[in-house]
Amino acid sequence: MDEVTSFRKWVMYYVAVWIFGALVVVGLGIYLTTATQKTAVLGNAQLGSSYRSLAEFYRTFFERNGLHLELTDVSHIGESADQLEREAAPINASFILAGSTLSIDTRKLVSLGSIKLAPGWLFYRAPAIEGANPFTALAGRRISGGPRGSFSNRILRELYDAGKNPGAGPAEILELTDSDGKAALLRGDVDAVWMIDSAASDNVSRLISRPDIHLFSWELADAYLERLPYLSRLILPAGYFHIGDTRPAKDVKLLSSTVTLLVEADLHPALQWGFLLAAQEYYASHYDELSGEVSFPKYIDKSVPISSVAEQYFNEGVPTVFSYLPIFYASIVERIWIWLAGTFILGYPTFRMIKKFRASTSKWIKAKASRQKRRTERRELRKAQTLDATSK
């Protein structure tokens, strides 16, 4: 009975190990298949903006690290976000500005955190505006505010509604791209242009260099922040762009947003790690003193839930395995190490048990064979004795 029980235990453990191993192999196969079939698709914003150069930086980083990122041209990042929420659209990753999620459905999206500052710039033609309210001075004037549906256009209209003077005439807000608005301001076709972009963008650099173009300082920034809490105040120091020419000539108060990266909730973890590590490298190579003590990427805009991958990144940092393996394989190892540990924890004792059982089974078989041999010998002996007795 003990031998039968031991044999049953051996069979049960042996089958359990094989089933567990098969589940590991199948799970890993599904993981690899999913990863190789999915590609990150990011909206590529308008020419002259820092969002476009940022997207190109990400694509280069992905290619260098064995991942694939496609860029799809959009007129502005608002259009990219609109496509992101539509299942039929190819885009599965998009830049957005803080506060912009109020206009899109984010139930199937997750955040990878904010990746950089996005200051707002209100450039206008001379003469210099006297007073703290730009919309009083620009009453009856033409302001380029970004394309229809863009985040910058929406924010400008919110600023205008908060600060317009009831006794002054209305300003005309035109829906031009940043590049077209810049060109129109330089030609004198518009009186002001509003854009939300990095200080390093071509559009901002071109306008800040012109002596006949002024940058408005939001002296009532704190009052505007009460109405638009998703914005923040930023100080642009005198001489930030050029110390010799002292551009700007004095400190300027800006209203700023942050750029957040949203992705579809089911975007493969390897691709999410690619975005996070690209953001980390971008910040390291494009440090901007305007950021102050804030380092990027960082989970600032909490209007969209953070992804589990980003949460791990912000709480625990980058796993050590990423220092030794490409992102794709490091992501696999990082996600299945629990499975591997479970396999070892279950498999090693089982292996020892099987090995011990085989040894005891071998002894049992030898003992059984020995007993069988002795019984056979005894039968043969009795048979011989019976024959001898009969013959006598």
Name the residue type at position 250: K
Please state, in angstroms and rounded to a whole number, the distance separating the CA atoms of residues 122 and 220: 14
Strands 172-174 and 142-144 turn out to be parallel
Residue 16, domain member (yes or no): no
* 139 and 226 co-located in one domain: yes
* 144 and 275 co-located in one domain: no
* 131 and 249 co-located in one domain: yes
| Whole-number pLDDT of residue 1 | 46
Residue 329, domain member (yes or no): yes
| 3 state DSSP class of 210 | coil
* 127 and 224 co-located in one domain: yes
Please state, in angstroms and rounded to a whole number, the distance separating the CA atoms of residues 180 and 144: 9
Residues 134, 139, 141, 146: is their CA dihedral positive or negative? positive
Two tokens, residue 217: 């300082």
| Whole-number pLDDT of residue 114 | 94
pLDDT in tens, the chain (392 residues): 455 555 555 556 666 666 666 666 556 655 555 555 468 999 876 666 788 889 999 999 999 999 999 998 776 666 777 777 777 778 889 888 887 765 667 788 999 999 999 999 999 997 889 889 999 999 999 999 998 888 899 999 999 999 888 777 889 999 999 999 999 999 999 999 999 998 988 999 999 999 999 999 999 999 999 999 989 999 999 999 989 888 999 999 999 999 999 999 989 999 999 999 999 999 988 877 787 778 899 999 888 899 999 999 999 999 999 999 999 888 888 877 666 666 666 666 666 666 666 666 666 666 667 777 777 777 777 776 676 666 65
CB 274 within 8 A of CB 57: no
CB 137 within 8 A of CB 285: no
Please state, in angstroms and rounded to a whole number, the distance separating the CA atoms of residues 310 and 272: 8
Place of tokens 């730009």: 134
Question: Is there a cis peptide before residue 248, judged by omega within 30 degrees of 0?
Answer: yes
Estimate the crossing angle of helix 50-64 against helix 269-285, to 10 degrees: 120
Residue 42, domain member (yes or no): yes
Residue 294, domain member (yes or no): yes
Please state, in angstroms and rounded to a whole number, the distance separating the CA atoms of residues 247 and 238: 6
Please state, in angstroms and rounded to a whole number, the distance separating the CA atoms of residues 190 and 217: 19
pLDDT tens by residue, 173-222: 999 999 999 999 999 999 999 999 989 889 999 999 999 999 999 999 99
pLDDT tens by residue, 95-145: 888 877 656 677 889 999 999 999 999 999 978 898 899 999 999 999 999
* 162 and 267 co-located in one domain: no
Please state, in angstroms and rounded to a whole number, the distance separating the CA atoms of residues 376 and 364: 18
Domain end, chosen from 338, 368, 385, is at: 338
Question: Quick count: other Cβ atoms within 10 Å of Cβ 352?
Answer: 10
Count of domains for the chain: 2
Q: Quote the distance between the C-alpha of residue 179 and its chain's center.
A: 28
CB 293 within 8 A of CB 310: no
Estimate the crossing angle of helix 2-37 against helix 327-391, to 10 degrees: 160
| Whole-number pLDDT of residue 343 | 65
* Helix (H), strand (E) at residue 48: none
Residue 299, domain member (yes or no): yes
Two tokens, residue 331: 């992501």
Domain end, chosen from 290, 317, 338, is at: 338
Which CATH number belongs to the domain containing residue 68 in this structure?
Answer: 3.40.190.10
Domain end, chosen from 223, 258, 293, is at: 258
- With b for 16 or more beta-carbon neighbours within 10 A and e for fewer, the 310-348 pattern comes to bebbeeeeebeebeeeebbbbbbebbbeeeeeebeeebe
* 141 and 221 co-located in one domain: yes
Helix/strand/coil percent split, the chain, to 5? 50, 15, 30
* 127 and 76 co-located in one domain: no
* 269 and 239 co-located in one domain: no
Two tokens, residue 136: 């009083």
* 288 and 227 co-located in one domain: no
Please state, in angstroms and rounded to a whole number, the distance separating the CA atoms of residues 273 and 326: 11
* 123 and 237 co-located in one domain: yes
Q: What angle do CA 152, 117, 309 make, to 5 degrees?
A: 105
What is the domain extent for residue 72?
A: 38-114+263-338
